[in-house]
Structure 1
């Protein structure tokens, strides 16, 4: 029987454990932006052990889009370094399952897909630094409008490892011109959450054709007096995994993250201008 869904607004302010409990119970399957502030949110790549070492090499060579924050034991769905009771099979709002390089299905539970040879790699997520931007008085439009952050393919090449290669995916947030420098400084304090932006301004300079047509997520307006600012995105490894044509890999659906019990890698405090 379908569970009654809990609105996003009702989970704002709840603990990381409470949000995961709602997800595990099948009562929340939407985006996790703005939930459990102060806790690390993670992108996921779940793949057979036979490919995991090369994938970890790839992440280490491309730390901006792929900052490693946790790795499971082979076949173990728990992630004890990120939370005592995390079960990766049930605790993410929505998963994408890829088979032989193609999206096979999008599900809210992977218990029946789990195998003893799977390894989970958890990667830092931009939602972490978004909390810091908001705390410092920099609005984040997709959170304000209850949307999923817009994500775009780019022409920026990545450093390959084994069968893993490709181009970077970025997120875009409109930032007021007089706060762009602050946005760089604030997000740079979170290297495990993609760190400082990779660029700003003209989207064509990084291979984006149209900011009104994101490849994933929802379009948001860049208003007068604002600049589009681009951060490396955790959807990057999804593209790379897809291109690697693995027999099986599982990721989070864009915007639907694992919320860990551990704190973000830098405190979400209000920083003085230029400090």
Structure 2
């Protein structure tokens, strides 16, 4: 079956329309889709690891802001009326911490003991950045946001530990304060940047070689700005090696039925 084409204006899609397109086989990064609707990272772990992950998220709220949690085996959530097994563009399957498959449909891999966590995503505040005049390069180019493992360790919890993962957006130097101000009002979707400037301070050797996503151009007069990233749970899975996990393919998010405005604080 041929995968469907993206709609002419993905931003105009409703969450249900976006999920239907992904369920039909459209694979694409979701930045810029369903404007005004919150996107979320997915990590699903066996029930035996659910408490460890909740504690890990509580100790690391910047990269792991929990928006919703399912009961074991459930395939929808209070903010996601679709099917978590089929309605994201792509999934990564982990066994003993190793990514063994990337699939468009996770149904055959889903287990009755899986607890799914929806984690806040920085795509939620990108429209607000644009409204403030801050450019978002990966939206300009139609690519995926670049994401990097850092040398900064998250606080461990139970059997889970791992490095902080960050996303990066180049920002003109004169607009960095605006970017900080805008994103600080979205603490449930990563909030303010964790670092501005020299990537080496985070242990990032080469901005042109992200660990996940696509590289973007850093232009003259721009500063790299880094936000905590919801791929951090998958980095913890790779470091801690639980027997099984399912995550979204980085940048290929769950489009929820929650409004971006629900996560905006005065």
TM (normalized to structure 2)?
A: 0.96
Deviation at 1:100, TM superposition (A): 1.3
Q: Which residue of 1 aligns with 2:195?
A: 199
Deviation at 1:19, TM superposition (A): 0.6
Deviation at 1:4, TM superposition (A): 3.4
Q: Quick check: 2:162–2:240 contact (8 Å CA) kept in 1?
A: no
Residues in 1 aligned to 2:154 and 2:123: alpha-carbon distance in whole angstroms = 22
1:46 matched to 2:51? no
- Mapping 1:76-91, distance limit 5 Å: 76-79=74-77, 81-83=78-80, 85-91=81-87
Deviation digits for residues 13-38 of structure 1 (CA, Å, limit 9, x no counterpart): 11111111111122x11100001111
Q: Which residue of 2 aligns with 1:22?
A: 21
Residues in 2 aligned to 1:56 and 1:211: alpha-carbon distance in whole angstroms = 31
Deviation at 1:46, TM superposition (A): 0.5
Unmatched 5+ stretches in structure 2:
none
Deviation at 1:109, TM superposition (A): 0.6
Q: Quick check: 2:15–2:37 contact (8 Å CA) kept in 1?
A: yes
Query: SS of the residue aligned with 1:65?
Result: coil
Q: Quick check: 1:199–1:229 contact (8 Å CA) kept in 2?
A: yes
- Mapping 1:128-207, distance limit 5 Å: 128-207=124-203
Residues in 2 aligned to 1:179 and 1:206: alpha-carbon distance in whole angstroms = 22
Deviation at 1:221, TM superposition (A): 1.2
Deviation at 1:132, TM superposition (A): 1.0
Q: Quick check: 2:129–2:183 contact (8 Å CA) kept in 1?
A: yes
Q: Which residue of 2 aligns with 1:36?
A: 34
Aligned pair in 2 of structure 1 residues 8, 215: CA closer, same or farther (>3 Å)?
Answer: farther
Q: Quick check: 1:8–1:30 contact (8 Å CA) kept in 2?
A: no
Residues in 1 aligned to 2:55 and 2:93: alpha-carbon distance in whole angstroms = 22
Unmatched 5+ stretches in structure 1:
269-274
Residues in 2 aligned to 1:199 and 1:66: alpha-carbon distance in whole angstroms = 17
- CA-based RMSD of the aligned residues comes to 1.5
- Mapping 1:230-249, distance limit 5 Å: 230-249=226-245
Q: Which residue of 2 aligns with 1:271?
A: none
Q: Which moved more, 1:10-19 or 1:36-45?
A: 10-19
Deviation at 1:267, TM superposition (A): 5.0
Q: Which residue of 2 aligns with 1:272?
A: none
Deviation at 1:41, TM superposition (A): 0.4
Residues in 1 aligned to 2:188 and 2:264: alpha-carbon distance in whole angstroms = 12
Deviation at 1:8, TM superposition (A): 6.0
Deviation at 1:218, TM superposition (A): 1.0
Deviation at 1:200, TM superposition (A): 0.8
Query: SS of the residue aligned with 1:97?
Result: strand
How many residues were matched structurally?
265
Deviation at 1:241, TM superposition (A): 1.1
Deviation at 1:53, TM superposition (A): 0.5
Deviation digits for residues 189-241 of structure 1 (CA, Å, limit 9, x no counterpart): 11111000001111111111011111111111111111100000111110101
Residues in 1 aligned to 2:114 and 2:84: alpha-carbon distance in whole angstroms = 11
Q: Quick check: 2:10–2:32 contact (8 Å CA) kept in 1?
A: no
After the TM superposition, which parts of structure 1 deviate over 6 Å for at least 4 consecutive aligned residues?
none
Q: Which residue of 1 aligns with 2:107?
A: 111
